[in-house]
Structure 1
Amino acid sequence: MPGPQTTETTASWSDVSFPLPLRSHQTRALAAIESSWSAGSQRSWVVLPPGAGKTLVGLEAARRRAQPVVIFSPNTAIQGQWIAEWQRFEPPDLTIGDDRALATPLSSLTYQSLATFDPEFDPDDDVGDASDDGDDPDSLLARLNTGGAALVEAMRATGPLTIILDECHHLLEVWGRLIAELLEELPQATVIALTATPPDSLTPTESELVDALFGPPLYATSIPALVRDGYLAPFAEFAWLVRPSAQESEWLIGEAERFAVLQTDLTETGIASTDFLEWIDRRFVSRTIDTGDDPVDHPGADRLDVDRLELDWYRLEQDEPELAAAALRFCTAGLLAVPPGATLREEHRRPPSADDWVALIKDYVETCLRPSSDERDQELLERIGAALPGIGYQLTRRGIRRGRSPVDRVIARSAAKTDASVEILAAESAELGDRLRAVALCDHERATATVPAGLRGVLRAEAGSARLLLDTLINDDRTGGLSPLMITGRTVAGATDTIAALSSFAHDQDPGLRLETVPVDDHDFVELRGWTSRQWVPIATRFFETGRSRVLIGTRALLGEGWDAQRVNVLVDLTTATTPTAVVQTRGRALRLDPHWPDKVAHTWSVVCVSDDHPGGAGDWDRFVRKHRGYLAVTDSGEIAVGVGHVDPGFSPYAAPPTGTFAANNAAMLVRAQNRCRIRDLWQIGSPYHDQLVHAVRLTSDRRTIARPELPSAALVAPELVPGDPAPRRDRGNTIMIIGGSAAVLITMIVLLLFGQDWAPALVIPMLAGGGWWLRQRRAADLAAGRRLAAWAEPPDLIDLGRAVADGLHAAGLSDRGAEAVSAAVDSGGGYRITLADVSTRTSEIFAEAMAELVAPIGSPRYLLPRYQPVPIADDAQQLRRAGARWSSGQPLDRQRVTYHAVPAVFGVNADRAGHLRTGWNRWVSAGEPIRAATAEGTGILVSTRGSSPIDVAAALRQVWE
């Protein structure tokens, strides 16, 4: 089959151009692509967020390549976008089509148009039978049906061509394998891969495939970068936290009872041949197991060698991270001692969850109970099996397996989430008025299965559906006037007057439509029928953008990837999808610039349901955390941060806030949402940036810890003395001068009196003046010394701890910068964020982790550092002078209290590294030498301090964008 390209057509590529200027990031992306072509590469991969104009980048790059173009997209909506975008190029001499015959210079197709297989072929089969014509039995190309095979043949016949793979993160499994084979068949093809998903957010499978096909991305930019440049709308993330309804909570309490009984039983003694708590102690602390006779060393560990135990724990965290984390959360609950070599980090400082219990129970079952013939063990095994279904697990012959959890279904589809959507939309409507353009996304239009028997009377049949949300919004006085409209892949529905207005609007748009309104049983809305989703999606979108409906309800599948509406300014996310691709695409719907509102600010609301009535009640919170993992947004303090901390600085990725705080949290969210102008200002649109992530440590305390005013880097000066240093020597010269002078004056006065000089007593005046001056100086010096001691009695300045770590890293050759690069800021939640600026991302991560370990509760470090503190001194001048005088006289009052800090792992690898930290420590924090934990002194210190916090702060690792 001859290709569509001719000499005349080739010449016309240079005559076509895009009529508008390219954006700066588009120009950089195109330059990177052309540079790779100049270097001989034919495959390019570019990462641009939704709304960045990656379609234009792909078309312009293909135009410059000046050869036939075949575009593959994941769905028909995006396929149509490519066609519409090319039609903006001028003059319209080169046409674009959607035919697999490739009869036009540009062809826009879907991946499905290629990946169509013979009906009898299962593409998931690993091995096929050899074909009669000698084709590779594993080849997917050989299994294509007639249409797919014809497309491949047309591409072969075209000769050199450009293939654009849009949203290349979709290249999974069959599509990825098929595209890989196709590219091998087309060695002359130029390939341009485009995606909106950041490369570090891809799954390992996606990363491996994309890297094999294209290598590292040539160019990538982030959503915050495009907001700063003014190409995307500024936005903020919010969360509305709810508890299940009263009826749902009652059911959850009942479901939790059996597992609660099991937890109680497992903490008792004598219920098995080896009790659960005894077993986890042997498993993780003493590192011994009971073989039925005498305890023996656990493989790979030596109880008498601390270094070996530390190494064993490191291996456990690497090999079985979930099991190790569960064990450390048992330490937080007081059910287990801190294992040798372990460090309690932020994620461990919360009570164990149901999943933590299951992780340890699973190991207990497989290692201890199953192999045993003891009747007590078998009885306990049966009780465990009976209790696990209540938290979504099953005990099978192959072990404990996760099942479909009815608890998680209740949480995910709670009626409270639908009610919360009403509150959010009512509040946003009150704020925006006629400007409101809100989209509410659900997982499904209606329930896809009947409610299980155990949930009847707990969940409504349509719980969590778009239909239930539409009904609820229509029937609430605050939201009914917003004319909510539901559009899904098979239904258009709304209130009677809304549908009448839409029907009239649709007829104006397409007079050929013949639509009818159909009532719906058991609902307060009607449907509009007589058209297809290809017709109603663009028309309903225009209807929405004009404001005739101010709330659009739909599913992520229809209103997600490929759907655009520039005027969306509120997004309510009720979905359970947590993949990075789904998150980026969903939130990207609200980030387009609005030509009717240049100062548009978008709000994205996540509705999260959490129950403290059941150990599995945090499933929705965990989904919320996964949605924000790797996603950047502005905080209320103006930082652009990764994770749930940008929603609220007090939110932790490891545990939901107490349910008792939900009302206050929601009220705070509403207050923040009312000030869109402030949110816009926080983005600092137009200001410079590096477009890189920096790791930070956030420190919080019940006692408000405020840094002293930060000095300019050039003026950074370490304190003259730190706790543990000896007192400065008093200036004896002044004392000797005063005493000597007084003696000389007294002798002179006596001599003069003997010679009859009556005025001689007047010489006592300068002597008294000198003595008074000396006494005032002495008292002032003692008072200053006392005040210094009083300041040292307080917790250390957190920024000085950071400076000590930074200087230690610099001395060890692990950082290009030291104390001068440490910066600190106090966020709106009272947290104290410390970063190491102007260093690589990896260096900032090392610094943040070291800081977190330095202030964390002591686990089992290799070294400890002392921090000396004097006893507290009352704020009384006399007592301060007395303490200062005693200290100046040589009494070591500053060493009466000693607090120990764990030396961070990066410094604990050997004595030299620990010495580098000591240098910074002695300069900024305290005198003292590192103490090796394996010595007799170190062992004694560990016994008395393990699990204790050296300072009243909690550390949390965060990532911020700069």
Structure 2
Amino acid sequence: MLTSLNDLKFIYPWRSYQSELLKHFDSHISDDHFHVIAPPGSGKTILGIEIIRKVGKKTLVLAPTLTIRNQWENRLQNFFTNASSFRAYSFDLRTPNDITFSTYQSLYAFYKTFEDKSEYFQFFKKHKIETLVLDEAHHLKNAWWTCLMELKRDSKFYIVALTATPPYDNTSVEVSKYFTLCGEVDDEIAVPDLVRERDLCPHQDFVYFSKPEALAIDFIVDFRRNIAHFKDALLEDESFISFLQEHRFYNHPNSHLDELYANTEYFSAILIFLNACGFKIEHEKLKVLGFRKKDTIQFPELDLKWLGILFQNLLVSDRKQLLSQEDYLSQLEKRLKRLHVFERNTIDFIGENRLYKSLSNSPSKLKSIVSIVNAERKNLKEALRCVILTDYIRKEFLNIKAETVEDINKIGVLPIFQFIRQSCEKPEELAVLTGSMVIIHQSVLNAFEALETLENFSFAPIQIDTSFLLVQSKSTSKSSIVSIFTQLFEAGYIKVLVGTKSLLGEGWDAPSINSLILASFIGSFVSSNQMRGRAIRKDADSPNKTGNIWHLACLDPTTLDGSQEVDTLKRRFEAFVGLTNSNIPFICNGFERLNIPEEIPVESLQTLNTNTIKRATNRSLITQKWDKAIEKGARLTKEVKWLHKGTKPFKKQKQIYYFDALRFFVIELFFAVVLFNIEFIATRFNLIFQQGVFYVIKAFIVAFLVTFGYKFYKAFKLYIRYGYLYKKIKKMGLAILDTLDALGYITSNRNGITVRSHLEGKGYVVCNLNGANALENTLFTKALSDLLEPLESPRYLIIKTNLFRKRLDIENFYPVPELFGDNKQNALVFQKYWRAYLGRSKLLFTRSTEGRKLLLKARLSHIYNAFTEVTKESIIWK
């Protein structure tokens, strides 16, 4: 052990969960990896330094930003030494010391300076660097991963990986790559554990909705109306219909099979459009897809997605093959450009670029922010510490006229500042802090001067309100001004601080924050979780602190589901666990925990927002609900939910299928008995009929048998398909688990891992692993989700079939999960265990001609795909 590291000693008592984690240090580091998941506020950096001390080797610490890099040195000096006495450190990669603090960007730039990579490897050997600490390791999703992975392959290192948010939202391959570098998770500090210990404060997320301004609403409605008129006209456009009927895929499908199977969505879109026009698709067109004459196909509705696929191919991807029709295509292109749905070679009937960017940047959100700040100020009074984070500064809104503030049409630091300055009480408590612009009220100058001499800064009044000063440091360092503002905010001289997420969203410490407004458009898992971490830290000066985290959404008034703004929030909420808004609270991830209606009419926004403000002001209830919810669980568990989308609960629907089949069977049986015993019945009751009457009665009974026989056949098919679904999903889970084990992904004791599956009240089927580690859980849930999701374009298909199923026409097609579908050997292993649990099946490679044919057949007809419902990966405290 290095002497300098041996001299380090943590000078405070360890928290209980930190002590528990460190107690298992020897077993965790035995594979040369120590991988810890810990949320903001859990003392992750402190734990990292202690692990470095215990390993005792020369160390390179890598962080994603300079701010976080500097925090490592700060924590080391303040928590492990007396009087900041540790000197064996460096910030320069080229001159390393016992501990070198750097960034991923610096390492990558350093890596690129070596033409001969062996010299890069030799540098680390020469300086005897044996430990790599990867802070905020989720940033390793990009190119920085390469220079680290090559280093790891060349030499033996101790790898210490610390993260609050593993990149679980990536593909299975990327997740596997991440864990290859960092090792499997050795320990996780869960948010509920931290709240129980009050190392994180109780907190809750809230959504404040707005509707666009009147002009924006008119614009959206006109856009939607024009698209609808275009679609309706197109369905009756004889020229366009003839154009599609003459398309090579439709007119001569057998001559273009390879091309057709390579772009199945295109051919599907052609068929779906012609079907929507009322044309009966000839069997000859469907025969190339593997459909038989007796097969029934229910084509999807021609929605804007399918229309977009059709025109994206006609006007871009397939255009070179349609040169003989170029004049007609040019006319179509001009029509679409007039509708503003064809720009930069991209078709967009939904309006993702034209509409949703304007919604995410809607000035109505500025009014939402003002409403939230006013409500929080009224409730918290002098205790308010509110931070508003956004993406852009928008410097053009600094020097504007007072009467034009209401006309601001963009979201950004300065638009938010101007709205709050003009609309809120006590504007003197407002400030701006970004990397390139700093604004403070002149009444705070005395407090500012008590922290730093004013001579080191310049102060210039802004035109719109001279009581506010634009602050510029005379040195090049930003750290000083950030430190000063943090202290002014903590002391309450600043109560509302507007800044950028790039400066304050990650690594900035201000424990007093009790209200955070996320005015950011970014919906990524990692960024959202890091920003939330600013508000949920405990505050030693306010032991009863609760944190409110506010999210903003501007709704599309032409839809009921809120459209893309709500979808962005749903992605954001997958990243973290929190408290449900139910009467009986529990802890889980996902947007659904807020109990916001699936359909949100614009007319109900005011009521929805009023109720949200009411809940947000009852902070003591938030604390009580956290305490109750924590008592109900012991650990966070990943699980897969199959979401039943029927109008009736799944259990009830299953009973309906069962009783339908039973009812039609009894009716069938009754009429069959009557048919074959009609003469006996007539004699028994002394009835005398003419021979012709017997024939009429028999024909009537036969008609009943045919009618109810068909209904029994359909009901029996539905019951076979859905009746045993929950048991079937468990069997699928067992097949996945055994495949993971056979392929070497399971490192825990296999006998100690079980698959659990059960029905929830709403009819959701829930499946999860019990007894597995974090990596095993992640791979399992991703594989099961792949298996249950609607078919896209898997490399391999599993076809569940047997003679009985073929007779009933209920063959099922399932995608082989991505993790097993990378090569045939792995796919065959999966098929082996599938057969063991779910019976006979065929494995089909979809990149072959036959495979593409069956893949398109499976995607075209919902009859052949049992799972059109979606799945959801959830994390729950239980």
Instruction: Report the TM-score, using the length of structure 2 for normalisation.
Output: 0.68
My pick for the range that moved more, 811-820 or 406-415, is 811-820
1:551 aligns with 2:541: no
Aligned to 1:805: 725
Q: 1:59 Cα deviation (Å)?
A: 0.5
Aligned to 2:103: 110
- Cα separation, partners in 2 of 1:162 and 1:415, compared to 1, 3 Å: same
2:508 pairs, out of 563, 575, 582, with 563
- For 1:296 and 1:23, locate their aligned partners in 2 and report how far apart those are by CA, in whole Å: 71
Once the two structures are superposed, residues 916-962 of structure 1 have per-residue CA deviations (whole angstroms, 9 ceiling, x without a partner) of 999xxxxxxxxxxxxxxxxxxxxxxx99x979999xx9987462413
Once the two structures are superposed, residues 427-476 of structure 1 have per-residue CA deviations (whole angstroms, 9 ceiling, x without a partner) of 222333333222111111115899xxxxxx99967721111111111111
1:517 pairs, out of 427, 442, 459, with 459
* Cα pair 1:229 1:686 within 8 Å, conserved: no
Aligned to 1:488: 434
Aligned to 2:393: 445
- For 1:82 and 1:665, locate their aligned partners in 2 and report how far apart those are by CA, in whole Å: 44
1:412 pairs, out of 354, 360, 366, with 360
Q: 1:54 Cα deviation (Å)?
A: 1.6
One-letter code aligned to 2:389: L
- Cα separation, partners in 2 of 1:45 and 1:401, compared to 1, 3 Å: farther
Aligned to 2:46: 56
Aligned to 1:507: 449
2:422 pairs, out of 472, 475, 483, with 475
Q: 1:508 Cα deviation (Å)?
A: 0.9
Aligned to 2:745: none
Q: List aligned pairs for 1:188-199, cutoff 5 A.
A: 189-199=157-167
- The number of residues matched between the two structures is 731
One-letter code aligned to 1:416: S
* Cα pair 1:242 1:420 within 8 Å, conserved: yes
1:72 aligns with 2:62: yes
One-letter code aligned to 2:876: W
Aligned to 2:766: 835
Aligned to 2:333: 384
Q: 1:546 Cα deviation (Å)?
A: 2.1
Q: List aligned pairs for 1:313-712, cutoff 5 A.
A: 357-365=307-315, 371-372=321-322, 378-388=327-337, 393-394=342-343, 396=345, 405-446=353-394, 463-477=410-424, 479-480=425-426, 483-494=429-440, 498-501=441-444, 503-511=445-453, 513-522=455-464, 526-531=468-473, 533-612=478-557, 618-637=563-582, 638-648=585-595, 650-651=597-598, 657-683=600-626, 684-685=629-630, 687-697=632-642
1:246 aligns with 2:177: no
- Cα separation, partners in 2 of 1:814 and 1:419, compared to 1, 3 Å: same
Aligned to 1:872: none
Report SS of the residue matched to 1:685: helix
Report SS of the residue matched to 1:414: coil
2:8 pairs, out of 4, 16, 33, with 16
One-letter code aligned to 2:592: G
* Cα pair 2:755 2:768 within 8 Å, conserved: no
Once the two structures are superposed, residues 614-651 of structure 1 have per-residue CA deviations (whole angstroms, 9 ceiling, x without a partner) of 99994433433332334333221224333322233544
Report SS of the residue matched to 1:581: helix
Quote the sequence identity (%). Answer: 20
Aligned to 1:961: 876
- For 1:541 and 1:587, locate their aligned partners in 2 and report how far apart those are by CA, in whole Å: 17
Report SS of the residue matched to 1:236: strand
Q: 1:238 Cα deviation (Å)?
A: 1.9
Aligned to 1:266: 234
- Cα separation, partners in 2 of 1:23 and 1:626, compared to 1, 3 Å: same
- For 1:459 and 1:536, locate their aligned partners in 2 and report how far apart those are by CA, in whole Å: 31
1:822 aligns with 2:758: yes
Once the two structures are superposed, residues 304-357 of structure 1 have per-residue CA deviations (whole angstroms, 9 ceiling, x without a partner) of xxxxxxxx8xx98xx97x9989999999999999x9999xxxxx9998875554
Q: 1:559 Cα deviation (Å)?
A: 0.6
- Cα separation, partners in 2 of 1:513 and 1:210, compared to 1, 3 Å: farther
Q: 1:64 Cα deviation (Å)?
A: 0.7
Aligned to 1:213: 181
One-letter code aligned to 2:18: Q
* Cα pair 1:545 1:567 within 8 Å, conserved: yes
2:133 pairs, out of 151, 161, 164, with 164
Aligned to 1:767: none
Q: 1:489 Cα deviation (Å)?
A: 0.7
One-letter code aligned to 2:556: S
My pick for the range that moved more, 362-371 or 12-21, is 362-371
One-letter code aligned to 1:507: E
Report SS of the residue matched to 2:541: coil
Once the two structures are superposed, residues 385-417 of structure 1 have per-residue CA deviations (whole angstroms, 9 ceiling, x without a partner) of 552585564264x99999994544422221101
- Cα separation, partners in 2 of 1:644 and 1:262, compared to 1, 3 Å: same
Q: 1:207 Cα deviation (Å)?
A: 4.2
- For 1:350 and 1:422, locate their aligned partners in 2 and report how far apart those are by CA, in whole Å: 45
One-letter code aligned to 1:646: R
- For 1:358 and 1:574, locate their aligned partners in 2 and report how far apart those are by CA, in whole Å: 31
Report SS of the residue matched to 2:322: coil
Structure 2, unaligned runs of 5 or more: 292-297, 399-403, 668-714, 738-752, 791-798, 803-807, 817-829, 840-859
- For 1:427 and 1:636, locate their aligned partners in 2 and report how far apart those are by CA, in whole Å: 20
- Cα separation, partners in 2 of 1:63 and 1:659, compared to 1, 3 Å: same
Report SS of the residue matched to 1:371: helix
* Cα pair 2:311 2:347 within 8 Å, conserved: no
Aligned to 2:692: none
Q: 1:590 Cα deviation (Å)?
A: 1.2
One-letter code aligned to 1:643: G
1:89 pairs, out of 45, 65, 80, with 80
* Cα pair 1:806 1:819 within 8 Å, conserved: no
Q: List aligned pairs for 1:751-762, cutoff 5 A.
A: none
RMSD: 5.7
My pick for the range that moved more, 408-417 or 363-372, is 363-372
- Cα separation, partners in 2 of 1:521 and 1:328, compared to 1, 3 Å: farther
- Cα separation, partners in 2 of 1:219 and 1:291, compared to 1, 3 Å: same
Q: 1:421 Cα deviation (Å)?
A: 0.9
My pick for the range that moved more, 542-551 or 805-814, is 805-814
One-letter code aligned to 1:65: V
One-letter code aligned to 1:363: N
Q: 1:73 Cα deviation (Å)?
A: 1.9
Structure 1, unaligned runs of 5 or more: 1-8, 129-134, 143-151, 280-288, 303-311, 343-347, 451-456, 709-717, 728-794, 826-830, 854-860, 865-899, 919-941
* Cα pair 2:390 2:520 within 8 Å, conserved: yes
- For 1:336 and 1:624, locate their aligned partners in 2 and report how far apart those are by CA, in whole Å: 42
1:233 aligns with 2:179: no
Report SS of the residue matched to 1:695: strand
My pick for the range that moved more, 59-68 or 505-514, is 505-514
Report SS of the residue matched to 1:598: coil
Q: 1:587 Cα deviation (Å)?
A: 1.2
- For 2:274 and 2:379, locate their aligned partners in 1 and report how far apart those are by CA, in whole Å: 46
Identify the structure with the greater helix proportion. Answer: 2
One-letter code aligned to 2:553: V
Report SS of the residue matched to 2:257: coil
* Cα pair 1:447 1:462 within 8 Å, conserved: no
- Cα separation, partners in 2 of 1:391 and 1:579, compared to 1, 3 Å: farther
One-letter code aligned to 1:629: E
Q: 1:555 Cα deviation (Å)?
A: 0.4
* Cα pair 1:354 1:616 within 8 Å, conserved: no
- For 1:417 and 1:592, locate their aligned partners in 2 and report how far apart those are by CA, in whole Å: 26
- Cα separation, partners in 2 of 1:957 and 1:582, compared to 1, 3 Å: closer
- For 1:355 and 1:725, locate their aligned partners in 2 and report how far apart those are by CA, in whole Å: 42
